[in-house]
Amino acid sequence: MAKLARIRISDDEASRTLAQLNDIFAMIEQMRAVDTEGIEPMNHPLGGSQRLRDDVVTEHDRREAAMRNAPEHQDGLFLVPRVIE
């Protein structure tokens, strides 16, 4: 999971976290006993449908603002360790 979530965890941390997660999942377990046959999952508190935006350009160049918070950048690009494909 830690790899999937891209979080580096030391062995020590991992065993402590695992114990906590086990407790949490034991607590979550209660929910699994409920009969939910035929119940529609609730993804949003309110129903409704997606509102649509007109296809017009409303945003303009924000590169400078974006680069101000960038850890490393050059020529308007965000720099990262080499991407290998």
Partner 1 sequence: MSVDGSTDLARASVAALAKVLAAKEVSAVELATLFLDRIDAHRDLNVFLDVRPDVTLAQAREADRRRAAGETGPLLGVPLAHKDIFVTRDWASTAASRMLKGYMSPFDATVVEQLAAAGMVCLGKVNCDEFAMGSSNENSAYGPVLNPWDKGAVPGGSSGGSSAAVAARIAPVATATDTGGSIREPAAFTGITGTKPTYGRPSRWGMIAFASSLDTAGLMTVSAEDAAIVLSAMMGFDPRDSTSVDRPPEDCTRDLERPVKGLRIGVPKEFFGPGLSPDVEQSVRAALDVYRGLGAELVEISLPNAALGIPVYYVVAPAECSSNLSRFDGVRYGHRASKYRDLEDMISRSRAEGLGPEPKRRILIGTYVLSHGYYDAYYLKAQQVRRLIADEFRRAFETCDIIAGPVTSTVAFGFGEKAADPVSMYLADLYTVPGSLAGIPSMSIPCGFGDKGRPVGLQLMADYFQEARMLGAAHQYQLATDWHRRVPAGF
Partner 2 sequence: MTNPNWEVVIGLETHAQLSTQSKIFSGAPTAFGAEPNSQASLVDLALPGVLPVLNRGAVERAIRFGLSVGATVNRRSIFARKNYFYPDLPKGYQISQYEIPVVSGGGITIEVGGVEKYVRLTRAHLEEDAGKSLHEDFHGMSGIDLNRAGTPLLEIVSEPDMRSSAEAVAYAKKLHELVQWIGICDGNMQEGSFRCDANVSVRRRGTETFGTRCEIKNLNSFRFLEQAIEYEVERQIELIEGGGRVVQETRLFDPDRVETRTMRSKEDAQDYRYFPDPDLLPLVIDDAWIARVGSEMPALPEVQRSRLVEVHGLSVQDAQALTASRATVDYFEAMLAALPGEAKLCANWLMGELSARLNREQIDLARAPIDAPQLAALLRRITDGTLSGKMAKDVFDAMWNGDGTADAVIAARGLAQISDAGAIAAIVDEVIAANPKSVEEFRAGKDKAFNALVGQVMKASKGKANPQQVTDLLRARLG
For partner 2, the binding residues (CB under 8 A) are 4, 6, 43-44, 48-59, 61-63, 66-67, 72, 74-83, 85
Token pair listed for 7: 């979080």
CA angle, 63 then 79 then 75, to 5°: 50
Residue type, 13: E
Print the binding letters for residues 44-63 with partner 1: x by CB under 8 A, - otherwise. Answer: xxx-x-xx-x--------x-
| Distance in angstroms (rounded) separating the CA atoms of residues 85 and 83 | 7
H/E run at residue 70: none
Contact status: 70 vs partner 1 (CB under 8 A): yes
Give residues in contact with partner 1 (CB under 8 A): 1-9, 17, 20-21, 23-25, 27-32, 34, 36, 39-46, 48, 50-51, 53, 62, 65-66, 68-72, 78, 80-84
